[in-house]
Each structure stands twice: as structure tokens, then as C-alpha cells.
Structure 1
Amino acid sequence: MTTLDGKVILLTGATDGMGRALAADLARAGATVLVHGRDPGRIAATAVEVAEAAQEAGNSRGSTPAVRSYQADFASLAEVRALAEQVLTAEPRLDVLVNNAGIGVTQPGDGARQESADGIELRFAVNYLAGYVLSRLLLPLLVSSAPSRIVNVASIGQQAIEFGDVQLTEGYDGMRAYRQSKLAQVMNAFDLAAELNGLGVTVTSLHPATFMPTKVSPAPPASTIAQGVAATFRLIAAPAEQTGTGGFFNGLEEGRANDQAYDSAARARLREISRELTGL
């Protein structure tokens, strides 16, 4: 396995599904994993698993734990901001930010339209805006830790954003909401890669695998969690000259996102909306 000795990696959505398996693999490879989750009990259980994985692989840090825990509900931008402040205060460096936390097409809410604590359509808020805010607030630490990386775990399931009704107040459809939020992640990654060019921070996004057996999958499994972990791990650990910056990957191979992602005017509109909704 590729060594990640000395790397500090913040993994959001680390307490379930692919995130939980990825956290353990990162620890086995020598990384210190910052485990993020929403539920304190699941965070604690995951932290134990990750620490055990590190010890089994001989990657203990003596008195320094191979895992540290952070709690935040991504349905609240105030909690996202608090998470960023906690990381900035407690962590002297951050080598990788993996924006993995998200919700699916039908869960929660059985496909009904829901809103976040900030009154924003829930899937757009959790899947996209939370990672947008976290990434921007942690940029100073990522730049000071360069070479460093941001990896957005998105999806090949994308749909062009309806800028006239981004929050889908009319004719809501959970699938469209999910697909819009995932495309927004990719578009933001493209923008961040350009913004950070030359600063030693690479930014990539990916579709890890199709219909893994997780609670957010809307269909029977077509891929394994291990496949998703392998694709995401590669963007975290492979040499930067292999992965580059600004790319979108479909599994282990470079892919193509929805056409709107390559439209500079559309990305500019998304930036404007993101700033308006988050106050950044």
C-alpha cells in the first residue's frame, strides 16, 4: 500500500459507507485521519476502528493518536464554520481535505423537498455548500501545508443546474436535486484548481464507483465499496504528476463531467449564488 506517513487528512462523512472504509485504509497507510461525522456515537466507534487499523498495520504514533475526531452537522452552515475554526485552531497542518460527506436521492425525507437549518434546499446545502464553505475556510491551512490536496467525492450522476430555481422550489425532484448538487461540486473543483494554481494545492473531483452498497445508494449495488475506496485513495495518495489538478475522474480513469461544468459563465453564476447563500 502507498505510504502516507506524516500526512494529516480531514475526511468528512467518515462514519459510514465508503468514508468509514476509506478512513481505515488511510490509517493503515500511515496517515493521521481527522474523522468527521454528525453523530457522536458513530464518530467514537469509527475512531476506535481507525485507531485499531493503524495499530494493526504498525502505524501507531506513540503518544500521538493516528485519529482525531470532529463533529458537525452539514445541514447547518454555522456548524460547518465551527468545524473549520476547530481544525484551524487544533491542527498545525492539513495535507488533504476530502469532501466526502453527503446525502442521497431519497434519504433523508423519502424524496420530499427539505430545507437545511439555513433555509436552503437540503441536498444543495449538504452535498455542495457545506464542502464549499469548509474548503474556502481551510484554504490558508492547506496553502501553508503545501504540497496539499482537495478531493471532492462527487458522482457521474449530474444534471445541469437550473439557475432560475437552484433550490427547486417548483416541481421538486430528489434525483434532480442530487444531480445538481454533485455537478456543483465538480464545477467548484474546477474553479478552485484554477484559483490555487501555482500555490501547491491540487484539486480534483471524482465519481468513485456506481451504486455501492451504502445507505445513500438509490439502486441495487453495481460496484463494491472497495472499488470506491481504491479510486478515492488514488487521488489522495498518488503522485501529483499522475493525477494533476482540475480533473474529473470516473473511478480510476479520467472522465468527463456534464457539459455545464466546462461553461465559464455557468461557473461564474454558481460562484455568485454560493457567495450569496453562504455569506462568504
Structure 2
Amino acid sequence: MISKVLLSFFLLAGVAMHASVQAAVSSKTVDYQDNGQVFEGLLVTPEGPAQKRPLILMVHNWMGVTAETEKQAARFAELGYVVFAADVYGKGIRPQDAKQAGAQATIYKSDRALFRQRLNLALQTALQQPGVDGEKVAVVGYCFGGTGALELARSGAELQAIISFHGGLDSPHPADGQNITGRVLALHGADDPYVSAADLAAFQDEMQSNNVSYDLVQYPGAVHSFTDMGAGNDNSKGAAYNAAADQQSFAEAKKLLGNTFK
């Protein structure tokens, strides 16, 4: 069933901020390899009794696996999920500025087959981690990683939920949307200058023409990187943190995961 496009009208002043008790989580790096290249993923798990839990594969933004990645992974691990943060670039390849990040991201956005290969490698590594319920799998990505989450789904990976936070929505091969097996949730800043109106329309057409179950939630006043406090608060730069969009988008993601893995 094709869902309608949703528009969120939550503004910062209207968002009720509430405190929550955070569950304890633990994290460790996990090395894995492909054709001699080493990658360094990050495994974040809830502490508590040993049991099988749903898996979230997390795809980093264009800066690679960073403290921001670990922070977002912990948010989801606190909900009771095993989170494995993929390393798309490779161990030791960590951009130090926007120029380096752009160069790395362009490699994969220009070669979607390689992008998908790296993500499927990470997914297979994640599925081998202890405590993972391989029948309950989602992918969550931010910015560059939001594009990656959609590309992994388009590759035909067995996923129950696909969540993109302020990700690129374009696809060189929209017919690959037919390979998507899970529900897609695209969380988008309505004023994001990096996603054109044409790309937004093409994404919706891709979802609808391939009978993908999806939701597109747009946040007025939000630009790119609205979940990242490190992006600052100046919308004129095209990327900025937005507390309202951050809170509401996380709530949307939490709801989808809860409904999917109940």
C-alpha cells in the first residue's frame, strides 16, 4: 500500500521536550575485510540479559564513522536494538574537513554499485554479531548515509525498515525501487537546499511506481543535517541543527521500528 506524503508542522516552540531514562549501552569497534581492505565498524549494544534483538545497520554521514555516529547509534541502542555502524570508506579514512568529506562521498555517489557492495558487506558483518535476530533488520542513515540506506534497499537486501534522515533521495536507476522489501521512511528538511524539487518528485515517483510502502515526512524550517548539533544553527549555510525536527524525526523512526519489530 502506498502511503500519503506527510507534512510535519511541528515548530520548535511547539515541541514538548521530555526527559527519559537512558538505558546503559556498550560499544566496541569491529574490523572486517574485503579484498584485502580493512574496515572498522562500530557495534553498539544494550546492556542486559543475553537475548536476540533486532538489528539496525547504521550508515554514517559524509565525515565517516565519528563521535556523531556513535551518539546516534547509542540513541537507538537505548531503545533495545543492536546497532552496527558501517564503515563505508575503510579503516583510517576519516575526512578532516568538508573538502575531504566531499571527495570521499563523491566516490560512492558516483559509483552506486560500489556503494551497495560496501553496505552489503557491512550488513553481512553485522548479521554475524552476537545477539542479533537476523529476521528483524533495519537500516538507518544520515545525509550521505541516508542515500546509502536507500541504495542498500534498492540492492534487494532483506530489510524490514529503511530510514533516511536528511539523506539524498536521488537514484540513477529508479527501476531498482522494485527490489525494496521493507517500509521506507524518508525524514526530510523542507528547506534542504541539497535535495532539489526534481529529486524529491522523482523519489516519490520511484516509490509509487514500484509499489513501495513509504512515508515522506517534511519538516518546515529545517535544512540539511537537522539532527546534528555540530552543524550549528545558521540555516543560511544550508546545513544546521533543528531541535524540533530532530525530536520529531527520531519519534517517527522510533514509531516505525516499534511497529515493525513488535
Q: Identify, as 1 or 2, the structure richer in helix.
A: 1
TM over 0.5: no
- TM-score of the two chains, using structure 2 as the length reference: 0.45
- TM-score of the two chains, using structure 1 as the length reference: 0.42
Q: Identify, as 1 or 2, the structure richer in strand.
A: 2
